[in-house]
Amino acid sequence: MKSWNNTIILEFLLLGISEEPESQPFLFGLFLSMYLVTVLGNVLIILATVSDSHLHTPMYFFLSNLSFVDICFVSTTVPKMLVNIQTHNKVITYAGCITQMCFFLLFVGLDNFLLTVMAYDRFVAICHPLHYMVIMNPQLCGLLALASWIMGVLNSVLQSLMVLPLPFCTHMEIPHFFCEINQVVHLACSDTFLNDMAMYLSSVLLGGAPLTGILYSYSQIVSSIRAISSAQGKYKAFSTCASHLSVVSLFYGTRLGVYLSSAATHNSHTGAAASVMYTVVTPMLNPFIYSLRNKDIKGAMKRFFRGKQ
């Protein structure tokens, strides 16, 4: 056998959610349906916000960015899984695995940052309504979106580059439906202490810090809403951030559920199935959450379709 440093791994095997042959047609139909609904729903959100001048505001600017990121997010993992199921071939090349991992880290990071920026936008709108348009000016909105992309790219590239030097011994099996960085790193045949530390620091800094910012923003929002005297005023103020709060709860709640379920069961396939919640289900539900509870979005969609007739 060649030494670890001379071993060249050309491909990995993605074992998927289930290895039972009879379940593959059902999984293919299920994930194809969810993927198409996700893409269609988020494209409609983007078209509605871009085409309607009433929605050319900071809130909907960030929402259209989030919808674009969600489309890219699911497109990073689901199409490859569908191809593997349809062709009965679980192989993903080494280059393809690293690329998928890099883009997954990018878009999950962008989700974190954009949700934080959107929380700040709601904080300014409710706590400083008279200065909202001055504070949330187009230049600041552009800078916040650009900063989110820069931090997402840096985190993604740095973590992916740290995986490249790792040696792998043999034909490797990943008990997941995509190349999740933690799964790939722990298949290496060398010490992964630096990689583990990088993943831990990334989780704390790029996961914990945005969540802390969101919680702080909503603590201030709740204080401001409680100070409003009329019940109608309280309801109107809360309704402006209800959709965002629902998306935040879904995104972070499902991610926490994934890690808790994986830690409790120590079953890789269980973890893979649980991760479907935040990698596929959450991006699919986001357009429904924002459109069903938002009169502005529903009105923009009606005007968009009437204009196409």
Q: Which domain does 64 fall in, by range?
A: 8-308
> What's the pTM value of the predicted model, to 2 decimals?
0.91
Identify the CATH number of the domain in which residue 86 sits: 1.20.1070.10
The answer to the question of residue 105 being in a domain is yes
211: left (phi over 0), alpha (psi -120 to 50) or beta: alpha
**Residue 29 pLDDT:** 96
Instruction: Measure the CA–CA gap between 181 and 159, rounded to whole angstroms.
Output: 9
User: How many domains does the chain contain in total?
Assistant: 1
- Beta strand 172-174 with 11-14 is parallel
pLDDT band at 203 (very low <50, low <70, confident <90, very high): confident
| DSSP tag of 57 | S
**Residue 31 pLDDT:** 96
The answer to the question of residue 220 being in a domain is yes
The answer to the question of residue 3 being in a domain is no
pLDDT digit string, tens, across residues 114-156: 999 999 999 999 999 999 999 999 999 999 999 999 999 999 9
Residues ≥6 apart with Cβ < 8 Å to 94: 9, 10, 11, 12
